[in-house]
Structure formats: structure tokens, C-alpha cells
Chain A
Amino acid sequence: GAGVSQSPSNKVTEKGKDVELRCDPISGHTALYWYRQSLGQGLEFLIYFQGNSAPDKSGLPSDRFSAERTGGSVSTLTIQRTQQEDSAVYLCASSATAWFQETQYFGPGTRLLVL
């Protein structure tokens, strides 16, 4: 079946604007993760969903970041009042369950550039 999809693939915005990033996980996957990839920084965990609930939001870097998941499927990551340091690739991953050995399948990412 289809893999994880993300949209948009690229986003250029001006400092101070809000952006919404979308993730469509693999159908039937209950766990969904957001990561941020900055140059030379590896992958930084942002937030995790089990179904529609987010048991762990500890990775969100500031209160400008929020995320939701509806219907146990699509998730949206929202960044308000974007800053230049928010520029990065935002990756979404899903897995069939939240078991720690479950394979996480990543989408291609959204490349965000804040001018």
C-alpha cells in the first residue's frame, strides 16, 4: 500500500507567519511521530501520537509548536509566528503499534525555510 505522505514537500514563509504541515500515515498505523531534522543535528523528536492522543509532547521546542491528529489518521503540525531557527526538514513517521521495536516508516519530509 501507499507509504507515509507529507505535504507540502517544500514551504517558504516569512518570519512571523504561521505554517501548517500535514502528515498522512500508513493506513491502520496507530502510532505517529513527528521529528525535526536540522543540518548536522540528526533527528530531533517533537511529539508522538497514540491514536488521537499525544501522551508525550516533551519534544516540542516552544509553545509556538502544536500538533493534532484526527480520526486516528491525518496529523497536522502547526508552527505559529515562525522564526528563522525553525527552518528544517520536518519528518513524520508512523508505525503499526507503539511497541518500542516496531518499525517506524518515514515520509519524505517537509522542507521549511523561514526567511
Chain B
Amino acid sequence: QQQVKQSPQSLIVQKGGISIINCAYENTAFDYFPWYQQFPGKGPALLIAIRPDVSEKKEGRFTISFNKSAKQFSLHIMDSQPGDSATYFCAASAPLTRGSTLGRLYFGRGTQLTVWP
């Protein structure tokens, strides 16, 4: 079963608007939450990441909001640009525990973002 659930599957936003992608998880062992950005024909690349000891992390136009009690986190892209059009994946990983794989990332299914000029 999907350990990280991501929505929406696709998103269309006007240039200058705010793009919001949401993810939820169940495994409380998860302790690191990265977002990856993937352009067509390329591999995913790390965009921004957060640990659950903070509720928000901002890097330029990209912000992760984290709600530990709700086990949810989201990516906000402010002032969305056509160059942001890509597929975005949320992910989670956990420290080594019994039965887990060190460093393994559990990915959401992805959100295809299109920003219209």
C-alpha cells in the first residue's frame, strides 16, 4: 500500500499564482520529508526538505508546511512560473529501525504541475 499519499494528481495554475500540493503519511517513524522535482526526460532532483521538528521551511518561492499531529505536509510554490511546470513528488524516510531500509525513500504518486503564462 502507498505509504505516502499525494494530491492532487494534476494541477493547473496561472502564472503568478500559488501552487499547493499536499501529502499525508501514516508511519510515525518517518523523520525526513523531501520534495523532488522532475522535468520530462530527467531524473527527479531534490527541491527542498524538512524535518518534523519545524513546522515550516522556506527556500525562495518554495515553502514546505508540516503538521506533525495531522501527519500531513504540503509544498507551496509562490508566484508560480511557467518554468516550474514539472512533476513534483513528496517523499518520506525513516532512521534505521527493525525491518526498515536505511535511506530508502517512500514516494507519493506525483503531481503534474502546469503553469500557464
Question: A: which residues have CB within 8 A of B?
Answer: 4, 31, 33, 35, 40-45, 48, 50, 55-56, 58, 91, 93, 95, 97-109
Contacts and interface: CB of A to CB of B under 8 A. Distances in A.
Contact of A109 (B43, B51, B96): B43
A83 B23 CA distance: 32
A93 B43 contact: yes
A101 B43 contact: no
Contacts of A55: 101-102
Main SS class of interface, B: loop
Given A42-B108, A101-B32, A31 B43 contact: no
Interface of B: 2, 6, 9, 31-32, 34, 36, 41-46, 49, 51, 89, 91, 93-96, 101-110
B109 A42 contact: yes
A108 B6 CA distance: 23
Contact of B42 (A42, A44, A101, A108): A108
Contacts of B51: 101
A33 B104 contact: yes
